[in-house]
Amino acid sequence: MSTSDTSHHDDRIAKMSFASVYPHYVTKVEKKNRTKAELHQVIEWLTGYDEKKLNAIIEAKTNFETFFKEAMLNPNAHLIKGVICGYRVEDITNPTTQQTRYLDKLVDELAKGRKMEKILRS
């Protein structure tokens, strides 16, 4: 299996609710002295979702497939590169899985103390 073949878990990721993962993102960044506001800034940069929309998504238990289908993905999202969960994000072929890993990568960078300008690929 190549490192870009995520087919064995694409379906699981697509069906997973954003609400089920969101608390883990919050815990991860707060443990590293970053804020929920910074997390929301990163999510908004990637998806276009403001805090109000994010809260509605969490409340509705929207799955990742719908989460990204309805998002206005940042035109610079393709600049997110590197390895997350053993996969090179730029090589993942399934769009939902790739976009979910983009988000994971941004959350990781935030937790690792990377400067916001770098995380937001500006």
Strand partners, 110: none
In tens, the pLDDT along 79-107 reads: 999 998 888 999 999 999 999 999 999 99
Q: 42, 46, 45: which is closest to 29 by C-alpha?
A: 42
How many C-beta atoms surround the C-beta of residue 1 within 10 A?
7
* Rounded CA separation 12/72 (Å): 23
In tens, the pLDDT along 30-89 reads: 999 999 999 999 999 999 999 999 999 999 999 999 999 999 999 999 999 999 888 899
Domains of the chain (ranges plus CATH)?
Answer: 9-115 (1.10.8.290)
**pTM (predicted TM-score):** 0.92
* Rounded CA separation 2/122 (Å): 31
